[in-house]
Amino acid sequence: MPDALPRPESFIPQTSPAALADLRARLRATRWPDAPEDAGWTLGTDLGYLRELVAYWADGFDWPVQEAALARLPRFRVPLRGLGVHFVHARAVGPAGPVLPLVLCHGWPDSFWRYSKVVPLLTDPGAHGGDPADAFDVVVPDMPGFGYSDRPTGPPLDTIAVAGLWAELMGVLGYERFGAAGGDMGSHVSRYLALDHPDRVVAVHRTDAGLPVFRGDPAELAPEERAWLEDAVAWGGTEGAYAAMHRTKPQTAAFGLTDSPAGLAAWIVEKLRGWSDCDGDVERSFTKDEILTNVTLYWLTETIGSSMRTYHANAAIPPAQHARRVEVPSGFSLFRGDVVRPPRAWLERTANVAYVTEPARGGHFAPFEEPELYAEELRAFFRPYREAALG
């Protein structure tokens, strides 16, 4: 007889008062660096802003309220390949026709948090001004080493391995065919789901094409593709130091970021500001409570080191994997404020493009920054594939 499928168990974490007391004590004892006068954000995280954020974290932020809000999402854990995987599994409300299962894949520096606002919009569009026929069953897993999923004790998993896990997870949940969507590292996971499981992934939606990897003759590329490769190299030179650290020596940074909540906040908030559509004011995209919910998840789960090690694993992915073309129907929503947005020619080169839009608002964290707009993008793209998924 075949082995029985693992059974998901309901999961509602509750942080101990001692853990919160320790966090507040560390925040209040922060030893602050100096900074040049009027440096602002030019050298990294702004000292004045971080002091303000940390003071609120220590004495104003109510984690139990945020923890309870996240607990309103139906959350579970299940053992897969020796790892406990945490995920949201929210079922569609009200559609009369077929329901498309959809797995949403997060990136760094976040977790299931990235999609926490958009889940209700996707499962119950009728309650949010949409068509009930566009409802999805939504699955949002935390990658191993992120959020409430286990941290791998051996080598970190790359995005190819994570895609294999998510295919297995969808099978455990009873979904033979499904859609996939993601951004940042989750864009890669979605891509490998489509590449390695084309018989199961009916369509794939991405908010980016990742940073370009091209080993061929640049003369083969269109001018806009060559310009994009040059832009990506320039972006890496000015903004990519974090990724170089993650790829090469993540454990060195992990000591300080795991020990200092202020350091952890500095590492993450600079990316929330730099990659969102906020025109330099991070609180145009995220409230302090939203920023600190994301950062506190990293702090309490002690996953900053394990999350960074995923970059190290991805750096070892063979070039031939990057050269594979996605033949599953692919959609791209390239939000205005995202980083290093690809040209259409590159998308056509690397994927079977069925849909491309350029929403006028939103950045790298579009599902959180602009949940209504992101939800409408997914509804529009996946609409033609619902019957195919269940036929």
CB 343 within 8 A of CB 224: yes
pLDDT for 341-358, tens place per residue? 999 999 999 999 999 999
Q: How far apart are CA 71 and CA 68, in angstroms?
A: 5
pLDDT for 298-329, tens place per residue? 999 999 999 999 999 999 999 999 999 999 99
Chain centre to alpha carbon of residue 98: 27
According to the model, what pLDDT value does residue 1 have? Answer: 38
Give the model's confidence band at 94: pLDDT under 50 very low, under 70 low, under 90 confident, else very high: confident
Residue range 90-119: mean pLDDT, rounded: 93
pLDDT for 214-247, tens place per residue? 888 888 999 999 999 999 999 999 999 999 999 9
- Say which amino acid occupies 8: P
Residues 110, 150, 184, 208: which is the catalytic one? Answer: 184
User: Which is it for strands 178-182 and 326-333: parallel, antiparallel or unpaired?
Assistant: unpaired
Residues 86, 188, 246, 364: which is the catalytic one? Answer: 364
CA distances (Å), origin 142, targets 95, 96, 376: 27, 30, 23
pLDDT surpassing 80 at residue 164: yes
Annotated active-site residue 184? The verdict is: yes
Residues 175, 311, 374, 385: which is the catalytic one? Answer: 311
Q: pTM of whole model > 0.85? A: yes
Q: How far apart are CA 282 and CA 369, in angstroms?
A: 11
3-state SS string for 251-316: HHHHHHHHHCHHHHHHHHHHHHHHHCCCCCCHHHCCCHHHHHHHHHHHHHHCCHHHHHHHHHHHHC
CB 168 within 8 A of CB 80: yes
According to the model, what pLDDT value does residue 212 have? Answer: 86
Taking residue 31's Cβ as centre, other Cβ atoms within 10 Å add up to 6
According to the model, what pLDDT value does residue 390 have? Answer: 66
Q: What is the mean pLDDT of the chain?
A: 95
The sign of the CA dihedral 277, 358, 360, 373 is negative
According to the model, what pLDDT value does residue 389 have? Answer: 63
Give the model's confidence band at 391: pLDDT under 50 very low, under 70 low, under 90 confident, else very high: low
According to the model, what pLDDT value does residue 216 have? Answer: 85
Copy the structure tokens of residue 341: 């947005």
Annotated active-site residue 46? The verdict is: no
Taking residue 150's Cβ as centre, other Cβ atoms within 10 Å add up to 19
pLDDT surpassing 90 at residue 75: yes
According to the model, what pLDDT value does residue 362 have? Answer: 98
Burial of 80 (0-12, 13-18, 19+ CB in 10 A): buried
Q: Is the peptide bond before 109 cis (omega within 30 degrees of 0)?
A: yes
Q: How far apart are CA 44 and CA 275, in angstroms?
A: 13
According to the model, what pLDDT value does residue 215 have? Answer: 85
Annotated active-site residue 364? The verdict is: yes
According to the model, what pLDDT value does residue 214 have? Answer: 87
Q: How far apart are CA 67 and CA 82, in angstroms?
A: 27
Copy the structure tokens of residue 124: 């119950």
- List b or e across 156-178, with b for residues whose CB sees 16 or more CB atoms inside 10 angstroms: bbbbbbbbbbbbbbbebbebebb
Residue 104, phi-psi category: left (phi > 0), alpha (psi -120 to 50), beta (remainder): beta
According to the model, what pLDDT value does residue 379 have? Answer: 97
Residue range 159-172: mean pLDDT, rounded: 98
Q: How far apart are CA 300 and CA 44, in angstroms?
A: 24
Q: Which domains does the chain have, with CATH numbers?
A: 39-390 (3.40.50.1820)
Measured torsion, CA atoms of residues 387, 186, 274, 263, in degrees rounded to the nearest 10:
140
CA distances (Å), origin 266, targets 41, 45, 288, 356: 11, 6, 13, 34
Residue range 57-77: mean pLDDT, rounded: 98
